[in-house]
């Protein structure tokens, strides 16, 4: 009889415990399913941005090669000359929110220079020159990259103000001779390539934080 | 208000006059809704229209009615709205376009005269709402180093559409930096996005729209690389490393830079010539690798390798397979035994000729350069295992594509005594090392181990299936051997096997001798064999038939050769022999083991064509014709005839000679008759009273001349036995003065004289008129009339026949015969009457002859000649043409009694 009573008490405790355990199990399964399904949108956005950055970086490298080939003799010297009024390749800001905005602003700053280089090279190259096509490609990709950066930033910092394109007119160098145009073009492309390298580096530093955080959440949830 | 409405109708009709002649500016009917005038209706819905009367009181709504494609719409579908409006509801079912007209009955002369004003219609165009496009898929292929900006999408159109209401599809692609679209009426389209947006998210969908509505497909919202199909990996190279005989290293290059598309790869390989690809698991090649090592391959084997790639993300399109990269793995030493076997031929001698043959090891792992063979006496095996090792080099060309395992190498031939047994050891050697040793024991002929039982070989599905019952003794292995002509092949089966199929390459229509050898720990047992065809056919050639020897009169023996083995193409079931003489063809079927046949019941001296067909279960083949002519006379037949004729002739000659010998007197008398000496004649002393007896010889001498008349009679009377006639002639000769009508036997029975001489014809009528006789014996009165002008009446003997036969008509009607008798009497006036009796065959009776002769002696004075009674007339003796002899035989009565 006593044994039977003890058994009854045990059963009374077991029912809520089983219910709680079932609930936790369902939540865990549901959380896992959600994470695996969405695969962390911030991480995905970062990865996409990184891929596109590397793509533009690679294309900018190819562009510089094509540029040097298309400029004739002494093309190696063109890129060693420093030119003013070209955006800096360095990214400013310490916090991610700051340097992401800096990246976006720099990207915006390069677009007029790409346009100027394209115009200058249009006069110097034949219409079928691969340089013009690659210039167009890099310019287009850079605009996409800017859109990616903006989107990533909004996803990462939804409460911060959306980065806006530079409001004022970009300072472009005055018209120069052909040599100076060639030097200018090479410096712009070289600087842009360095800038993209910095962007990649910066974004990679962010990857562990953005992508691991969710993984840690899952890990914490299970243990 | 009405005026404004009328104005509206008139203006509308001006616009639409081009397509409807019924709408006149001054019309009194108008349909609503009629804008547009050609409404597009959805099939499956109901359409309602209202006809209104304007600017007239001539008609009311009750006078209106509707027609659709010329057919009046039933009134049940009408709704009278008011006095001037009538609506109709029609279901839209068919796809054809048609007119819906509102018309007015002829209720007044005005309506009749202005019929055009009381009619208005609208043209109904029908269609379906667009269906939702389904199964949308898009692809962007690689062009040079980049992905093409042209994205091609295909989809399936759902629902139906009519030609009058077509559906247009718009393909939309939205990326981060813009939106692109293109429209088409097809089910596929290509949209250019300027620069393929790698790593960006693309939103792709299709919108289907027509005049009845629009609908969008499901959106494909995926990363752009999801739609990418790259080129296959380039520069695929396979590297063989000598230290790894079972491994090949594969290298390749990415078809596109990883910054555009990160790829995963798939590798497949197979031995050259095989299509059975082995796929490397994807988990091993999932990363963006550019090399991979294939392992666990067969040494010295050519492998074909291919690689393909696809976007490393979860979904995407696989590229095409790369071109073949071919490489041979390095050699390794043979890992299995050579397949050792033997061929034994036996002749009448006590030694067997044994050829040892073998195939390369299955795992030869390289090119076999030689075989090492060692043969030793089986009984000495335990004592001394070290026999003489002999190397047999082989020269195999690497260019030979056929597998070396199918090649048969003849190692050695030995002459083995029936009472001896040997054991053979063979190893195969390649450039790396030697194989394990294979052995085979050939036992004494008398000690051959038991064979399998009930071997059956059957065709099944283009293969030869074997089934047997194992012998009582445990078998370690079976060897299935098949031989066709000089070609031999074999395969090995496990000791537990009871049935198998021949795995080698067999040809159709070829005879194979299939044998199953049990092996008892390397010792071969006695084989069981069967003949078999993989597939039977019609023989290639027919049997060549010919005659054996010469044909006979009624028979001929045919022989034919068996069809050569390679031309049979199947088991001969039977032969059919055909032979014909031109009119009818005969055939005879004989068993397959027959090669000769004797045709019988042939016609003599007839040309026959003959041929033989050989039959298998698949058909028959006819051989060449052979012609022969049967003989007219059989062998010895001519000789027999000649001998028979000769013998017959000889017999006749002998018979004639005997006859001549025995009847020489008769012949002598006939041919050399005794002529009486006239000098001894007594005619000078003749007187009527002079007894005849003394004159008879004289008469006889004269009568001999009448023998010539007998010959004439012979010709008239048909056949007559000379032999029989001789005595008769003799008799005539002896009875020249006497004649008998019928019944020679009784001619002497009465002494009455018979009158037969025609010279005395006038007397005959008197005699016969009063006398009826069965027969009469007439004493011949003619002859040498000059010598005997007067007949002795007392010497005439009349004899009455004892025959019961009635007299002939001529006898019974003497009147009829009278004249004829007279004629005959005249005709035969110089003929002695007895000459006619010579035709009687019965007179040849020797008894009669003897009797006559005897009586002649006894009754010599009378000297009558007996005349046989002719009982049955012959053919030549018909009533009409009664021979003179016969007539004269019944003529005695005509003559009556000779006047004394």
pLDDT band at B380 (very low <50, low <70, confident <90, very high): low
Q: What is the pLDDT of residue B798?
A: 47
CB B706, CB B691: distance < 8 Å: no
**Chain A residues touching B259 at Cβ < 8 A:** 51, 54-55, 57-59
User: Is the confidence at residue A165, as pLDDT, over 80?
Assistant: no
CA dihedral sign, ordered B267, B269, B275, B281? negative
**The pLDDT of residue A170:** 66
Find tokens 């376009």 and name the residue. B97
Looking at the predicted structure, is the pLDDT value of residue B588 above 50?
yes
Contacts of residue B201 in chain A, CB cutoff 8 Å? 48
Mutate to test the interface with A, among B176, B177, B260 (most CBs of A within 10 A): B176
Write down the residue that tokens 């109709």 correspond to: B88
- % of chain A residues with pLDDT over 70: 74
Q: Which two tokens stand for residue B397?
A: 């060309």
Contact B464, B477 (CB under 8 A): no
pLDDT reading at B248 higher than 50: yes
CA dihedral B890, B891, B893, B898 (to 10 degrees): -140
DSSP for B576-604 reads EEEEESSS-EEEEEEETT--EEEE-SPPT
Select from A48, A140, A143 the Cβ nearest to the Cβ of B199: A48
Q: What is the model's pLDDT at position A22?
A: 67
> How do residues B410-423 score in pLDDT, each as one tens digit?
999 888 888 888 89
CA distance A2 to chain B (A): 60
Instruction: Over range B513-519, report the average pLDDT.
Output: 93
Per CB distance under 8 Å, which residues of A are interface residues toward B?
48, 51-52, 54-55, 57-59, 136-137, 140-141, 143-144, 147-148, 151
Per-residue pLDDT, B582: 82
Given a cut of 70, is residue B391 above it in pLDDT? yes
3-class SS letters over B358-400:
EECCCCCCCCEEEEEEEEEEHHHCCCCCCCCEEEEECCCCCCC
pLDDT beyond 50 at B494 = yes
B149, closest residue in chain A (CA to CA): A137
Across the interface, of B194, B257, B259, the residue whose CB is closest to A140 is B194
| pLDDT on residue B401 | 57
Question: Which range has highest mean pLDDT (A16-20, B174-178, B425-429, B733-737)?
Answer: B425-429
Chain A environment of B202 (Cβ under 8 Å): none
Sign of the torsion angle spanned by Cα atoms B811, B815, B817, B818: positive
In this predicted structure, what is the pLDDT of residue B34?
A: 57
CA distance A14 to chain B (A): 44
Q: Are strands B134-143 and B228-229 parallel, antiparallel or unpaired?
A: parallel
Closest listed residue to residue B569, CA positions, set B616, B531, B624 = B616
By DSSP bridging, strand B134-143 and strand B119-127 are unpaired
The predicted pLDDT at position B637 comes to 81
Q: Residue B223's closest chain A neighbor by CA?
A: A48
- Tokens 């005695």 sit at which residue? B892
Proportion of chain A in helix, strand, coil states, percent, rounded to 5: 75, 0, 25
What pTM was estimated for this model as a whole? Answer: 0.57
pLDDT at B726 over 60: no
Q: ∠ CA(A57), CA(A60), CA(A65), 5° rounding?
A: 135
- The Cα–Cα gap between A109 and A47 comes to 24
- The stretch B454-469 carries a mean pLDDT of 90
CA A15-A19-A22 angle, 5° bins: 140
Give Rg (Cα) of chain B.
Answer: 68
- Determine, for residues A151 and B257 on separate chains, whether the beta-carbon distance falls below 8 Å: no
d(CA B496, CA B494): 5
Query: Which of B179, B199, B221, B256 is the mutation pick for testing A, counting most A CBs within 10 A?
Result: B199
State residue B696's pLDDT score: 47
Residue B144 CB neighbour total at 10 angstroms: 8
Q: What is the pLDDT of residue B772?
A: 44
Cβ-contact A144, B176 below 8 angstroms:
yes
Q: What are the distances in angstroms from CA B691 to CA A106, B683, B748, B795, B804?
A: 200, 12, 18, 9, 35
Give the per-residue pLDDT at B872.
40
Q: What burial class does residue B67 get, using C-beta atoms within 10 Å of its C-beta: 0-12 exposed, 13-18 middle, 19+ buried?
A: middle
Q: What pLDDT sits at residue B157?
A: 86
The DSSP line for A149-184 is HHHHHHHH-TTSPPP----SPPP-PPP--HHHHHHH
Can you tell me the distance from the alpha carbon of B94 to that of B121, in angstroms, rounded to the nearest whole number? 18
Of residues B505 and B9, more confidently modeled: B505
Q: How many CA atoms lie within 13 A of A122 on its CB side?
A: 8
**Beta carbons within 8 Å of B363's beta carbon, 6+ residues apart:** B298, B334, B335, B336
Which chain B residue has its CA at the smallest distance from A57's CA?
A: B259
Q: Least CB-CB distance to B200: which of A57, A137, A144?
A: A144
Q: Which residues of A touch B200 (CB under 8 A)?
A: 48, 52, 144, 148
Whose tokens are 């955006």? That residue is A87
What are the pLDDT digits (tens) for A170-221?
667 776 788 888 888 999 999 999 999 999 999 999 888 888 654 444 443 3
pLDDT at B338 over 90: yes
The CA distance from B235 to the nearest CA of chain A, in Å, is 22
To the nearest whole angstrom, how far is the Cα of B259 from the nearest Cα of chain A? 5
Q: Are B408 and B487 in contact (CB under 8 A)?
A: no
Cis-peptide, bond into residue B33, ω within 30° of zero? yes
Q: Which residue has the higher pLDDT, B775 or B642?
A: B642
pLDDT interval class at B168 (50, 70, 90): very high
pLDDT number for residue B26:
59
The minimal CB distance from B195 to the residues A54, A57, A137 is found for A137
Q: Give me the phi and psi of B847, to 5 degrees please.
A: -65, -45
> Across the interface, do A52 and B200 touch by the CB < 8 Å criterion?
yes
B788, pLDDT greater than 90: no
Report for A12-21, A71-80, B124-133, B698-707: range of highest mean pLDDT = B124-133
Are B443 and B421 a contacting pair, CB within 8 Å? Answer: yes
| Contacts A141 to B, Cβ<8 Å | 195
The predicted pLDDT at position B407 comes to 81
pLDDT band, very low/low/confident/very high, at B797 (cuts 50, 70, 90)? very low
Instruction: Quote the mean pLDDT of chain B.
Output: 76
Is the pLDDT assigned to residue B757 strictly greater than 90?
Answer: no
Does position B81 have pLDDT exceeding 50, yes or no? yes
Using a CB-CB distance cutoff of 8 angstroms, which residues of chain B are in contact with residue A147? 176-177
CA neighbours closer than 13 Å in the CB half-sphere of residue A35: 16
Q: Mutate which of A39, A51, A63, A193 to disrupt the B interface (most B C-beta within 10 Å)?
A: A51
| C-alpha torsion B597→B602→B606→B610, nearest 10 | -30
Closest Cα in chain A to B145: A59
Give the Å distances, CA to CA, from B553 to A124, B163, B386, B556.
Answer: 118, 93, 76, 8
* Residue to test with chain A: of B192, B194, B224, B259, most A Cβ within 10 A: B259
Chain B residues bordering chain A (beta-carbon distance below 8 Å):
175-177, 194-195, 197-201, 223, 257, 259-260
Res B620 pLDDT > 70:
yes
- Mean of the pLDDT values across residues A15-24? 65
The nearest CA of chain A is from the CA of B260 a distance in Å of 6
- Measured in angstroms, the CA of A3 and the nearest CA of chain B are apart by 56
A51–B195 C-beta distance less than 8 A: no
Give burial (CB, 10 Å; 0-12/13-18/19+) of B748: buried
Over residues B191-210, mean pLDDT: 91
Percent pLDDT > 90 in chain B is 32
> CA B602 to CA B514: how far, in whole Å?
45
Looking at the DSSP bridge assignments, the partners of residue B121 are B101
C-alpha dihedral (A47, A49, A54, A60), degrees to nearest 10: 170
How many residue pairs from chains A and B have C-beta atoms closer than 8 A?
Answer: 36
Written in H, E and C, the secondary structure of B58-82 is CCCHHHEEEEECCEECCHHHEEEEE
CB contact under 8 A, B200 and A143: no
- In B, minimum Cα distance to A53 occurs at B259
Q: What is the Cα–Cα distance from A223 to A131, expressed in whole angstroms?
A: 56
> Rounded distance, CA B410 to CA B341, Å?
10
Q: Over the range B68-99, which residues count as b (16 or more CB within 10 Å of their CB) and which as e?
A: beeeebeeeebeeeeebbbbbebebeebebbe
Query: Which pLDDT belongs to residue A19?
Result: 67
The answer to whether the CB atoms of B177 and A147 lie below 8 A apart is yes
Reading the block at residue A55, the tokens are 């793509």
With a cut of 70, say whether residue B736 has pLDDT above it. no
Residue A97 has which token pair?
A: 């929110």
- A105: pLDDT strictly greater than 50: yes
Q: Do A143 and B177 touch (CB under 8 A)?
A: yes
Mean pLDDT of all residues in A160-176: 71
Q: pLDDT tens-digit profile of B688-712?
A: 555 554 444 444 444 444 444 444 4
pLDDT tens, position by position, B7-66: 333 333 333 333 333 444 457 788 877 555 678 888 989 998 899 888 888 888 888 999
Query: Given this model, what pLDDT does residue B875 score?
Result: 41
């Amino acid at each position: 009889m006593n044994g039977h009573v003890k058994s009854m008490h045990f059963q009374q405790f077991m029912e809520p415990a089983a219910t709680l355990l079932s609930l936790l199990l369902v939540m865990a399964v549901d959380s896992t399913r959600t994470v695996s399904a969405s695969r962390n949108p911030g991480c995905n956005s970062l990865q996409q941005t990184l891929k596109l950055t590397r793509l533009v970086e690679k294309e900018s490298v190819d562009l510089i090669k094509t540029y040097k080939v298309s400029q004739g003799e002494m093309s190696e010297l063109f890129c060693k000359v420093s030119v003013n009024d070209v955006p800096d390749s360095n990214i400013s800001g310490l916090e991610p929110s700051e340097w992401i905005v800096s990246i976006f602003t720099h990207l915006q700053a390069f677009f007029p220079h790409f346009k100027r280089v394209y115009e200058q090279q249009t006069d110097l190259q034949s219409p079928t020159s691969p340089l013009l096509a690659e210039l167009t490609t890099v310019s287009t990709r850079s605009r996409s990259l800017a859109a990616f950066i903006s989107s990533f930033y909004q996803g990462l910092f939804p409460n911060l103000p959306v980065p806006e394109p530079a409001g004022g007119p970009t300072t472009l160098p005055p018209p120069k001779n052909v040599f100076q145009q060639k030097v200018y073009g090479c410096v712009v492309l070289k600087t842009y390539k360095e800038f993209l390298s910095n962007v990649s580096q910066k974004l990679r530093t962010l990857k562990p934080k953005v992508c691991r955080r969710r993984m840690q959440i899952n890990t914490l949830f299970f243990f | 208000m009405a005026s404004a409405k009328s104005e509206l109708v008139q203006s509308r009709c001006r616009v639409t006059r081009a397509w409807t002649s019924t709408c006149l500016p001054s019309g009194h009917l108008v349909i609503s809704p009629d804008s547009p005038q050609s409404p597009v209706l959805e099939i499956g819905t109901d359409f309602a229209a209202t006809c209104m009367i304007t600017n007239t009181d001539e008609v009311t709504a009750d006078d209106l009615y509707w027609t659709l494609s010329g057919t009046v719409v039933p009134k049940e579908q009408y709704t009278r709205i008011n006095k001037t409006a009538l609506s109709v509801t029609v279901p839209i079912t068919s796809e054809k376009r048609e007119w819906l007209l509102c018309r007015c009955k002829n209720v007044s002369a005005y309506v009749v005269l202005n019929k055009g004003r009381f009619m208005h219609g609208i043209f109904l165009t029908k269609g379906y709402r667009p269906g939702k496009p389904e199964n949308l898929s898009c692809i962007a292929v690689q062009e040079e180093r980049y992905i093409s900006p042209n994205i091609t999408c295909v989809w399936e159109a759902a629902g139906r559409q009519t030609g009058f209401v077509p559906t247009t599809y718009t393909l939309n692609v939205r990326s981060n930096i813009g939106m692109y679209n293109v429209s088409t009426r097809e089910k596929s389209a290509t949209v250019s996005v300027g620069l393929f947006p790698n790593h960006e998210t693309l939103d792709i969908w299709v919108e289907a729209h027509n005049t009845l509505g629009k609908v969008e497909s499901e959106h494909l919202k995926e990363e752009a690389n999801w739609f990418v199909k790259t080129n296959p990996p380039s520069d695929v190279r396979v590297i063989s490393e000598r230290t790894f005989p079972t491994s090949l290293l594969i290298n390749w290059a990415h078809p596109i830079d990883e910054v555009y598309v990160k790829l995963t790869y798939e590798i497949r390989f197979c031995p050259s010539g095989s299509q059975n690809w082995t796929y490397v698991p994807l988990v091993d090649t999932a990363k963006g690798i550019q090399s991979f090592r294939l392992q666990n391959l067969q040494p010295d084997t050519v492998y074909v390798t291919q690689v393909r790639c696809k976007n490393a993300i979860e979904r995407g399109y696989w590229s095409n397979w790369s071109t073949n990269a071919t490489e041979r793995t390095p050699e390794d030493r043979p890992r299995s035994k050579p397949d050792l076997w033997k061929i034994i031929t036996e002749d009448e001698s006590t030694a067997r000729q044994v050829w040892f043959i073998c195939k390369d090891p299955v795992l030869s792992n390289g090119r076999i350069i030689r075989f090492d063979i060692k043969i030793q006496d089986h009984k000495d095996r335990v004592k001394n295992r070290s026999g003489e090792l002999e190397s047999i080099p082989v020269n195999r060309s690497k260019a030979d594509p056929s597998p070396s395992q199918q090649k048969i190498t003849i190692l050695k031939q030995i002459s083995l005594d029936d009472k001896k047994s040997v054991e053979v050891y063979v190893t195969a050697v390649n450039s790396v090392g030697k194989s394990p040793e294979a052995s085979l024991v050939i036992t004494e002929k008398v000690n051959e181990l038991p064979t399998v039982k009930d071997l059956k070989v059957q065709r099944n599905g283009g293969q030869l299936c074997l089934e047997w019952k194992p012998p009582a003794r445990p078998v370690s292995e079976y060897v299935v051997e098949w031989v066709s002509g000089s070609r031999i092949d074999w395969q090995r089966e496990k000791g537990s096997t009871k049935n198998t199929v021949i795995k080698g390459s067999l040809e159709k229509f070829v005879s194979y001798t299939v044998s199953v050898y049990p092996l008892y720990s390397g010792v071969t047992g006695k084989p069981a064999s069967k003949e078999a065809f993989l597939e039977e056919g019609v023989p290639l050639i027919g049997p060549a038939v010919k005659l054996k020897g010469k044909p006979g009169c009624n028979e001929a023996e045919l022989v034919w050769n068996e069809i050569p083995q390679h031309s049979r193409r199947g088991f001969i079931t039977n032969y059919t022999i055909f032979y014909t003489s031109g009119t009818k063809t005969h055939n005879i079927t004989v068993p397959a083991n027959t090669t000769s046949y004797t045709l019988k019941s042939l016609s003599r001296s007839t040309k026959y064509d003959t041929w033989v067909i050989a039959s298998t279960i698949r058909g028959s083949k006819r051989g060449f014709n052979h012609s022969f002519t049967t003989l007219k006379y059989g062998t010895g037949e001519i000789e027999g005839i000649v001998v028979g004729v000769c013998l017959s002739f000889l017999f006749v000659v002998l018979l004639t000679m005997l006859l001549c010998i025995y009847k020489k007197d008769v012949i002598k008398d006939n041919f050399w008759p005794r002529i009486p000496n006239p000098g001894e004649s007594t005619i000078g002393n003749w007187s009527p009273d002079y007894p005849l007896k003394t004159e008879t010889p004289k008469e006889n001498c004269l009568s001999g001349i009448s023998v010539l008349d007998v010959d004439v009679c012979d010709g008239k009377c048909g056949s007559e036995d000379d032999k029989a006639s001789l005595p008769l002639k003799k008799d005539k000769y002896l009875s020249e003065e006497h004649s008998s009508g019928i019944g020679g036997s009784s001619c002497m029975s009465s002494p009455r004289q018979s009158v037969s001489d025609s010279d005395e014809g006038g007397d005959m009528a008197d005699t016969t008129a009063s006398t009826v006789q069965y027969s009469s014996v007439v004493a011949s009165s003619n002859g040498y009339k000059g010598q005997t002008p007067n007949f002795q009446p007392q010497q005439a003997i009349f004899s009455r026949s004892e025959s019961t036969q009635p007299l002939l008509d001529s006898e019974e009607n003497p009147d009829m015969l009278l004249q004829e008798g007279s004629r005959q009497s005249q005709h035969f006036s110089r003929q002695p009457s007895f000459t006619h009796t010579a035709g009687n065959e019965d007179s040849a009776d020797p008894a009669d002859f003897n009797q006559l002769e005897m009586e002649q002696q006894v009754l010599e004075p009378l000297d009558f000649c007996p005349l046989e009674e002719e009982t049955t007339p012959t053919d030549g003796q018909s009533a009409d043409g009664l021979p003179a002899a016969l007539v004269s035989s019944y003529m005695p009565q005509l003559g009556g009694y000779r006047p004394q």
